Chain A
Amino acid sequence: MRYLDEYRDADLTRKLLSDLQTIVTQPWTIMEVCGGQTHSIIRSGLDQLLPAEINLVHGPGCPVCVTPLELVDKAIALASRPDVIFASYGDMLRVPGSTRDLFAVKATGGDIRIVYSPLDALKIAVDNPDKTVVFFAIGFETTAPANAMAVLQAHSQGIQNFAVLVSHVIVPAAITALMESPDVRVDGFLAAGHVCTVMGFWEYEPLAKKYQVPIVVTGFEPVDIVHGLLECVRHLESGQSQVANAYARSVTREGNQPAQAMIARVFGLCDRAWRGIGVIPQSGYQLRPEYASFDAEVRFPELKSIETKESELCISGLVLQGIRKPVDCPAFGQECTPQMPLGATMVSSEGTCAAYFRYGRT
C-alpha cells in the first residue's frame, strides 16, 4: 500500500538507526506521547535496536487508558439499562470498571454495539427510535472532529434518541502536566502525528520554549519514528529546544482548520480526570451548553452517585507518565494479562503494558 510500505522499509530503517548512532554522544530520555507509536516501536523491535544512549519512555497518549474509572463505571451503568443501546469503539469493552467490564454487561444481555465510526452509532439511533443510543465519545484531538460531527448531525437532523458520554482529552495539557511533575524527567518528545494532523503544531512552540525541550511531530511507521528520533536527538545534541515536523506529508503548522472549527463549535475546554494520573486543569473537552441535551450525564442524572474502586496492585498511572515501565510492576504477566487485566494499559491496542506483553518484553 502506497504511503505505508515505503515507511516500513527495513533497510532504510536500519540505515537511519546507524545514523542515529553516529550523532548520539550522551544519554537522552525521549518520550513518545502516543500509544499508537508505542505499539509500532515495540512491534517492530525498534526499542531493542536503538543506541544504548537513548531511553524511550512511553507517554499517556492512549485514550482508552486514561478514561477515568468513574466514566467506565458510568458506561457500564448505562449499558446495563434495558432502554439503552450502548455504542463504543471496541477497545473500551475489556477495560476494567470497579466490579466488571462492558463485555460482562454484554454477556448478561446488555445491548452493546462495537462501532468503527461515531456516524455508525448515529445510524443505530435512527434505526432504533424506541431506544436511547449512547456513544462513548472518548479520544484525543484526532477523534474529536468525528465525535463533534456526530453530535452536530444529531442536532441538525433532530435525532433526539442519541447521546454521548464524553471523555475527551488533549495532548498539550498532558505535556504541561508531565513537565511540571517533579517525578518525570523527559529530555525530548515525539509528538503524536495524527493529533497534529488535526491541531497543527503551533500549540507546542510555547511549550518547547518554556520547558526547554525539543518536540518533534512524528508519524507511526518505523521509518517515521526513527526520523522523529533523529530530529529530536539532533536538537538535543546541539542544545536546541524547538518544534520540528518529521511528518510533513500529513501535518502542517496550522493543522486542519475546518476540523478545528468543528471542535470549537461543539466542545469547550474543561478540567478532566486522567485515569492513574488525576485531574489536569483544562485538559479536555466537554459539550458546549447548546448541545447539553446530547450529554448522557445530563440526560441520565442518576449517574452522578457512582462510587469507584481502583485496583490496589496496578501501577498504570506511573506507566502512563513514563515514570515506570510495565516490567517494573509485580503484577505484570502474573495477576495482570490482556485476558484478565487489572488496568487499562493492559487492554488497549495502544496500552503500553499490552504492547510489552504481546511482544514478549518481559
Chain B
Amino acid sequence: MCLGIPARVLELYETNGMKMAKVDFGGAVKEACMEYLPEVKIGDYTLIHVGFGLSIIDEQEAMETLELLRQIEEMGADEEAPS
C-alpha cells in the first residue's frame, strides 16, 4: 500500500490547476501529480505513490549512503582476511 517507486520526470505541465508530470518507471511511462514537489525539475528522480510524487530522490545522499555501506563492507573483508 505504501509502495513508492522511483521514476524519472520526463515532462511537466498543468491540468485543472494541478502540477502534473509524465514520469518514466524504467520504461513504463505514466502520469503523476507533482503538487507536493513544487521544486521538481525535468530529469529528477522522484518517488511516486498512488500517482503522486512524494520526494525528489537525493542523489548525493544516495551516493554517500552506498559509499558508507561499501566501506563497512571493505572493513568487514579486511577483518576476515587471514593475517
Residues on A lying within 8 angstroms of B by beta carbon are 1-4, 6, 12, 15-16, 18-19, 22, 34-36, 61-64, 89, 91, 116-120, 138-140, 142-143, 145-146, 149, 153, 156-157, 192-195, 197-198, 220, 223, 227, 230, 246, 248-251, 256, 258-259, 262, 348-350
Contacts and interface: CB of A to CB of B under 8 A. Distances in A.
B54 A194 contact: yes
Interface residues of B, number: 41
B72 A16 contact: yes
B54 A157 contact: no
Interface in B37-76: 37-38, 45, 47, 49-52, 54-55, 57-59, 61-62, 64-66, 69-70, 72-73, 76
A2 B45 contact: yes
B1 A63 contact: yes
30 contacts: A3-B57, A16-B69, A19-B76, A36-B1, A63-B1, A63-B2, A116-B50, A117-B33, A117-B52, A118-B51, A119-B33, A119-B51, A120-B51, A142-B4, A143-B1, A149-B33, A153-B18, A156-B17, A194-B2, A195-B2, A197-B47, A220-B3, A227-B65, A230-B72, A248-B58, A248-B61, A248-B64, A249-B59, A250-B4, A250-B47
Contacts of A119: 33, 51
Contact of B50 (A6, A143, A349): A143
B83 interface: no
Contact of B1 (A18, A139, A145, A230): A139
A22 B78 CA distance: 13
Given A145-B54, A249-B57, 14 more contacts: A2-B6, A12-B73, A15-B76, A142-B1, A142-B49, A145-B36, A146-B50, A194-B3, A194-B47, A195-B2, A251-B55, A258-B35, A258-B38, A262-B36
DSSP class of A's interface residues: helix, strand, loop or mixed?
A: helix
Nearest to B27: A1
Contacts of A220: 3-4
B6 A140 contact: no
Nearest to A251: B55
B78 to A, nearest CB: 12
A36 B36 contact: no
In this complex, the member of A12, A15, A61 whose beta carbon has the largest number of chain B beta carbons within 10 angstroms is: A15
